[in-house]
Chain A
């Protein structure tokens, strides 16, 4: 089993590659229970430092009850106020007859602490405790950690590299507390195990067969759901079946970039026929849809995620590569258009067209719009009454077309960019008065 390998793993990572290993990262890597992982770290720390002192540095977690009185840190003030508060302060009795029995019964509160400590400070830290319930090794690293916050990066890295593993399936073997009634949505949007985290993919399929046997032995409810995900994936998503690994369909999979396209697809097709240039900015439809979604939370199918690339961006280097991939995805998707039906969003052509059309075009006959300094200015043709004195001295009123200038506060994309702008992008601009999506989040 993996247990025998832990020394090798730790030697490789801590001693050779000089990385930080936490009990959780080794637990994930070797698929062992967290308690066992802690013991492994401890054992390695002992043996290595016996061989060569100070070759490995550790951090510890101490849990227990800290001594409160002499701690003067701000965080402990809460406790102080328990003791000195017996309800009514003498000077300003908020307790009035209008508020009978302000018997703010304050009772003693048990405060237990979970404290992360460096190896050197272990004894100091222990002395601040009234009673200690447990100590365990949190992480091992080759040298003293100057900044403990580095450990958050380790955790982030670990989460990223093990994103493929469904916590519902493996959680038990890690020693995670099992939620009995975990409900996870299965239908709707099956995560597609396609593109996102490329680096770990290579190793995972190799390990998977070994692993997938044990959790299935103990039938847990959440696990029974996992296969369901699989089925739906197979049934609904033909693209998924083309992929080599679509097994676990983990929730971590934020990707589903695919389905985002799948959803926008019918519309997009239409647009492409209407404005041929629209296909260029393939990354944009997501963003544009966000504007529409607002916080209306009741659509029958929720709109795409706001930040399709967030988090992923760590692994995926540049924007270009993403675009390439999206381009590929789109092509693939278009191939499937014929045989796949997406009933949920099917805007009828009558509906979609007027919206999709960029508004300036409609007004073009009568308007000239320029954008300067974020404002839209322009001239429009209006019929004006004009009164002139004719040669006989009579006043003559004629109506004639003339140009008048106007401006609007509404910012709009500069005109030269217009052809390049994809149709959905223009959509929000069509609604006058709707501001930038940013203003939605900002404090007013």
Chain B
């Protein structure tokens, strides 16, 4: 219960005490340009998307095959050894074999550009669906394995227990049945990639100045609308980050804000669509269309409010800002950083414009891409504003758990599992470019993870949730399967990843803090107490 002494620091007449200056821990920060698109003339949208799948398969096939070889070499059923098949088309009927390829899911409710064209349905964006599965007809979902040679329909009870989505690279063990379908006995995924050691990118003699008690703060879904209905929680968040809330060290107090070395805003900072009435109004009036800044059609207040929020906290704390679905950035992934011209106040803290070829030092205020990869306090971070998780969730049938597709607890668990699956697929955004809009990459698929992050986060999730995953346990077949002669590898210290699903601040008022030494997670919640006044 409340102690009577609590808060005595503040609940007393003014004193003449001196106040020490509180200083913030320095931030070590090194963003990576993995998702930065070429600018201006070099950015083309004419290419075919097929290249992305080809690149992804080329990159991940060796990895998954290595694991599959370990697991399945010498695997035999009834005296028949599993044979490795190079291409999907080379699978022969009745023969026990394994093959690697890309998953493609054909689902009844998945948006299909060809359907839209044949139906002459030229709407810009298909309405978002909660799921691509047809709940009335779950068998209409087809899972196929494809590579550059062809496609193979997968079947078998194994698939019912495994959640897959388009774009994942896996290896399957099984045999082709008389229908021409591939009966799956087992599945292997690329699993976690190599994880860099902490401070690895900074060189060996990294700033190892003993244990610094730093924290990295994550927030997403600020949902600023610019109206007075903006939650007061944002105000309280500002106060906290700036250290005005108090630096009480009592038990149960929120961590001292001076330990927070960086704030990462993971998308959807702006709530209302700023141009939403622009289209509606031009339709109504059908008047002359104006170019440029039209104050009547453009509501600048959300971004202005965001700007002043940033400008308020920036003098004290460095900020990394990722765009999200509702932010004023391009819609297709990877979203490029919100242009600093949007932030007339906050941009003073930006890095100076790149002069020449040399890479400029990252700014105190860094407007980065979504997804984004970078090193903070030596740890590798990989995060997205949540589109990747939301979209994969539509492929998976988690509805049967709770009976409904919603934001239940099962959904929250599912989201963390999806995040884990992505890491094990080594692909952060597997469903791009199928059902998530994406830039048509030509030479490189940056969504494939080259290095395993230490912190993998997804913004704008309904609830906060965290988990730790490892890959250090031996790989083995489970179930009623038979002998296997797989060897264990890297059992000593495999990668450890902290998964964080960051809730929408607008709805939960939660700020997520990650300790920079232990990667322990804490939550600080900002809210107002709905008292009698509001209950009436």
Residues of B contacting A105 in the complex (Cβ-Cβ under 8 angstroms): 467-469
Supply 15 A–B pairs (Cβ within 8 Å), ascending by A. A92-B161, A99-B189, A104-B469, A109-B522, A109-B523, A120-B531, A145-B533, A149-B231, A151-B235, A251-B314, A253-B345, A287-B294, A290-B292, A291-B292, A299-B353
The answer to whether A96 and B353 touch across the interface, beta carbons within 8 angstroms, is no
Residues of B contacting A77 in the complex (Cβ-Cβ under 8 angstroms): 409, 412, 463
Provide the bound-state CA to CA distance between A81 and B255, in Å. Answer: 23
Q: Restricting to A8-35, which residues have a CB under 8 Å from any CB of B? A: 23-24, 27, 33-35
Residues of B contacting A132 in the complex (Cβ-Cβ under 8 angstroms): 2-3, 6-7, 252
Residues of B contacting A103 in the complex (Cβ-Cβ under 8 angstroms): 468-470, 473
Residues of A contacting B349 in the complex (Cβ-Cβ under 8 angstroms): 182-185, 251
The answer to whether A443 and B331 touch across the interface, beta carbons within 8 angstroms, is yes
Indicate the member of B15, B301, B341 with the most A CB atoms within 10 Å.
Answer: B341
Residues of A contacting B158 in the complex (Cβ-Cβ under 8 angstroms): 96
- Which 6 pairs across A and B sit closest by C-beta, in order of nearness? A121-B531, A287-B292, A287-B293, A135-B7, A133-B253, A136-B10
Q: Restricting to A281-340, which residues have a CB under 8 Å from any CB of B? A: 284, 286-288, 290-291, 293, 295-311
Question: Is B188 part of the binding interface, using a Cβ–Cβ cutoff of 8 Å?
Answer: yes
Beyond A3-B16, A222-B315, A374-B282, list 14 extra A-B contacts (CB 8 Å): A94-B162, A96-B158, A103-B469, A149-B229, A149-B231, A149-B232, A251-B311, A293-B341, A297-B336, A302-B347, A311-B344, A311-B345, A440-B330, A441-B275
The answer to whether A184 and B288 touch across the interface, beta carbons within 8 angstroms, is no
Question: Is B364 part of the binding interface, using a Cβ–Cβ cutoff of 8 Å?
Answer: yes
Provide the bound-state CA to CA distance between A222 and B188, in Å. Answer: 54
How many residues of B sit at the interface, in one of the four size bands?
35 or more
| Given A99-B424, A152-B228, A61 and B353 contact (CB-CB distance below 8 Å) | no
Question: Is A198 part of the binding interface, using a Cβ–Cβ cutoff of 8 Å?
Answer: no
Question: Is B354 part of the binding interface, using a Cβ–Cβ cutoff of 8 Å?
Answer: yes
Question: Is A377 part of the binding interface, using a Cβ–Cβ cutoff of 8 Å?
Answer: no
The answer to whether A92 and B398 touch across the interface, beta carbons within 8 angstroms, is yes
Provide the bound-state CA to CA distance between A78 and B294, in Å. Answer: 43
The answer to whether A120 and B304 touch across the interface, beta carbons within 8 angstroms, is no
Question: Is B69 part of the binding interface, using a Cβ–Cβ cutoff of 8 Å?
Answer: no
A96 to chain B, nearest CB (A): 4
Provide the bound-state CA to CA distance between A110 and B124, in Å. Answer: 44
Chain A interface, number of residues (Cβ within 8 angstroms): 152
Residues of A contacting B16 in the complex (Cβ-Cβ under 8 angstroms): 3
- Taking a contact as CB atoms closer than 8 A, the residue among B312, B342, B347, B354 that contacts A167 in the complex is B312
Q: Restricting to A225-280, which residues have a CB under 8 Å from any CB of B? A: 251-254, 256
Question: Is A355 part of the binding interface, using a Cβ–Cβ cutoff of 8 Å?
Answer: no
- Taking a contact as CB atoms closer than 8 A, the residue among B9, B163, B337, B465 that contacts A78 in the complex is B465
Question: Is A195 part of the binding interface, using a Cβ–Cβ cutoff of 8 Å?
Answer: no
Q: Is the interface of B mostly helix, strand, loop or mixed?
A: loop
Contact indicator per residue, chain A 402-428, by CB within 8 Å of chain B (1) or not (0): 000000000101100100000001001
Stretch touching chain A among B79-87, B92-100, B447-455, B507-515: B507-515
Provide the bound-state CA to CA distance between A104 and B255, in Å. Answer: 25
The answer to whether B2 and A35 touch across the interface, beta carbons within 8 angstroms, is no
Contact indicator per residue, chain B 327-351, by CB within 8 Å of chain A (1) or not (0): 0111100001101111011111110
Residues of A contacting B24 in the complex (Cβ-Cβ under 8 angstroms): 177-180
The answer to whether B315 and A302 touch across the interface, beta carbons within 8 angstroms, is no
- The chain A residue sitting closest to B464, CB to CB, is A78
The answer to whether A136 and B291 touch across the interface, beta carbons within 8 angstroms, is no
Question: Is B217 part of the binding interface, using a Cβ–Cβ cutoff of 8 Å?
Answer: no
The answer to whether A35 and B19 touch across the interface, beta carbons within 8 angstroms, is yes
Contact indicator per residue, chain B 285-315, by CB within 8 Å of chain A (1) or not (0): 0101111111101101101100110011011
- The chain A residue sitting closest to B524, CB to CB, is A112
- Taking a contact as CB atoms closer than 8 A, the residue among A104, A251, A252 that contacts B467 in the complex is A104
Question: Is A131 part of the binding interface, using a Cβ–Cβ cutoff of 8 Å?
Answer: yes
Provide the bound-state CA to CA distance between A4 and B274, in Å. Answer: 47
The answer to whether B315 and A436 touch across the interface, beta carbons within 8 angstroms, is no
Residues of A contacting B532 in the complex (Cβ-Cβ under 8 angstroms): 120-121, 124
Stretch touching chain A among B52-60, B175-183, B238-246, B372-380: B238-246
Indicate the member of B191, B229, B239, B325 with the most A CB atoms within 10 Å.
Answer: B239
- Taking a contact as CB atoms closer than 8 A, the residue among A74, A98, A117, A159 that contacts B312 in the complex is A159
Provide the bound-state CA to CA distance between A60 and B533, in Å. Answer: 15
Question: Is B438 part of the binding interface, using a Cβ–Cβ cutoff of 8 Å?
Answer: no
Residues of A contacting B78 in the complex (Cβ-Cβ under 8 angstroms): none
| Given A109-B523, A111-B525, A185-B348, A297 and B337 contact (CB-CB distance below 8 Å) | yes
- Taking a contact as CB atoms closer than 8 A, the residue among A35, A286, A287 that contacts B9 in the complex is A35
Question: Is B479 part of the binding interface, using a Cβ–Cβ cutoff of 8 Å?
Answer: yes
- The chain B residue sitting closest to A38, CB to CB, is B10
Residues of A contacting B339 in the complex (Cβ-Cβ under 8 angstroms): 293, 295, 297
- Taking a contact as CB atoms closer than 8 A, the residue among A107, A178, A309 that contacts B21 in the complex is A178
- Taking a contact as CB atoms closer than 8 A, the residue among A63, A101, A109 that contacts B253 in the complex is A63
The answer to whether B40 and A296 touch across the interface, beta carbons within 8 angstroms, is yes
Question: Is B65 part of the binding interface, using a Cβ–Cβ cutoff of 8 Å?
Answer: no
